[in-house]
Amino acid sequence: MSLVMDREALEAFLVREFPQVAGDFAIDRIDEDGLVVRLKVAERHLRPGGTVSGPSMFALADVAFYLAILSRIGPVALAVTTNCSIDFMRKPEARRDLTGEARILKLGRQLAVGDVLIRSEGAGAVVARASLTYAIPPRQGG
């Protein structure tokens, strides 16, 4: 499926609809295969020991997959997470940004299914893998 929203449109959407978190994320790459979103790690994302917290990694996976879906269907603000499962596989690098590589496995009229691989910036090993399902509300004219 082709892209209907580019990086600039997705970033503007995030600022408009989710200003409370928009500054935490940046889109590093977007193409036909998916997109890569960066969590700009700050002190508020850390847990004791200086590593990124699980809830912050969940937020990265959720935002990355949400934006991947919107890049294909347009600005549907009410698409919502219906399921998410995360495997935490290794400790992220201390105080480094994290990237989430989102891939849509199935995009239907009502559901989208995919995954997000989370890595510490500059490291090749996956630190977490999330599987997500989103419900897509009925679209006008569709």
Calpha distance 131→23 (Å, rounded): 24
* Sign of the alpha-carbon dihedral angle for 127, 54, 35, 104: positive
CATH topology for 7-135 is Thiol Ester Dehydrase; Chain A (3.10.129)
**pLDDT at res. 141:** 55
For 134, the 3-state DSSP assignment is: strand
The pLDDT assigned to 127 comes to 97
Beta strand spans in 75-125 (E): 80-88, 98-107, 111-120
Residue 49 token pair:
């020991």
Task: Give domain limits for the chain.
Answer: 7-135
Bridge-based pairing of strands 80-88 and 126-135 is antiparallel
Instruction: Evaluate if residue 122 carries a pLDDT over 70.
Output: yes
- pLDDT tens digits, one per residue of 80-103: 999 999 999 999 987 799 999 999
